[in-house]
Chains A and B, each alone.
Chain A
Amino acid sequence: DAGITQSPRYKITETGRQVTLMCHQTWSHSYMFWYRQDLGHGLRLIYYSAAADITDKGEVPDGYVVSRSKTENFPLTLESATRSQTSVYFCASIGTSGNTGELFFGEGSRLTVL
Chain B
Amino acid sequence: KQEVTQIPAALSVPEGENLVLNCSFTDSAIYNLQWFRQDPGKGLTSLLLIQSSQREQTSGRLNASLDKSSGRSTLYIAASQPGDSATYLCAVTGANNLFFGTGTRLTVIP
Contacts and interface: CB of A to CB of B under 8 A. Distances in A.
B100 A105 contact: no
Interface residues of A, number: 23
Interface in B87-110: 89, 91, 93, 96-98, 100-103
Given A42-B102, A100-B31, A103-B91, A90 B44 contact: yes
B46 A99 contact: no
User: For the complex, would chain B's binding face be called helix, strand, loop or mixed by DSSP majority?
Assistant: strand
B75 to A, nearest CB: 16
Contacts of A33: 98
Interface of A: 33, 35, 40-43, 45, 48, 56, 58-59, 90, 92, 99-108
Given A41-B102, A104-B46, 8 more contacts: A42-B89, A42-B100, A43-B91, A92-B44, A103-B34, A103-B98, A105-B36, A107-B43
